[in-house]
Amino acid sequence: MEKITLTLTNPQGMHARPASLLTKLVKDFKSEIYFYKNDIDNKKYQPKSILSVMSVGAAQGDKLTFVAEGSDEKEAIGAITTFIQSGCGE
Question: Which residues are designated catalytic?
Answer: 15
Say how far apart CA 42 and CA 23 lie, in whole Å. Answer: 21
Say how far apart CA 74 and CA 51 lie, in whole Å. Answer: 25
Residues near 62 by Cβ (< 8 Å), separated by ≥ 6?
A: 7, 8, 13, 37, 38
